[in-house]
Structure 1
Amino acid sequence: KFLLNKAKVAVSPGIGFGEYGDDFVRLALVENEHRIRQAAKCIKKAFESPAQKVAG
C-alpha cells in the first residue's frame, strides 16, 4: 500500500513467488521503457521522502 499511496505505483505482493517472496514485491515490466523509468523514479522519491526516513 505504501508504493501505491506514496509513489502512485501499483505492485503485486511477492508472496506469489512462494514463502520466500513474502518480503518482496512483483513488478510487471509490460509497460514501455519511459513508463518503467517514470515508475522507478517515483518509487525512489517515495523512499527518499523525509516522512519515510523517520518512519523507516
Structure 2
Amino acid sequence: EKMNKIYTGRRNVVINGLNKLGWNLKPTKATFYIWIPTLNKMDSMEFSDLLLEKTGIIVTPGIGYGEYGEGYVRIALTVDEKRLEEAIERIEKAGITQE
C-alpha cells in the first residue's frame, strides 16, 4: 500500500502538470509508466529528440514498443515527485504544450 501511494503521487504530478500544458491525459491504474501523445503528429523519435534537446529530459520513444506505440512517448515514474515536478517545469519553460 505504501508503494501504491508513492506511485499514485508521482502519477498525479505528471498527469496534472501535463494537463495544465494542454494534454488530456487520464490517470493510469496499474503501471508506473505514462504514455504521452506527441505534439502535432510528430513521430515518437522526433518528440523524444525535442524533449532531450530543449529540456534535457529523456523519454522512451513509443516506436520501440511496436507500431502501436508510434505517436507516443513513455515516461517512467521511477524518480521522486520533486524530479517529476522539475521535468514539468522544464517542459513549460521550453514552451512545449499540446495547445
Please list, as runs of the form range in 1=range in 2, the aligned pairs for 1:36-51 lying within 5 A after superposition: 36-46=84-94, 47=96
User: 3-state SS of the aligned residue for 1:5?
Assistant: helix
CA–CA distance in 2 between the matches of 1:11 and 1:39? 11
Superposed CA offset, 1:2-44 (max 9, x none): 1001011011101244322211111111000000110011112
CA–CA distance in 1 between the matches of 2:68 and 2:92? 24
* Structure 2 segments unaligned to the other structure (5+ residues): 1-48
Alignment RMSD, CA only?
1.5
Please list, as runs of the form range in 1=range in 2, the aligned pairs for 1:11-50 lying within 5 A after superposition: 11-46=59-94, 47=96
* Structure 1 segments unaligned to the other structure (5+ residues): 49-56
Query: Hey, which bits of structure 1, 4+ residues long, moved more than 3 A?
Result: none
Q: Aligned residues: percent identity?
A: 46
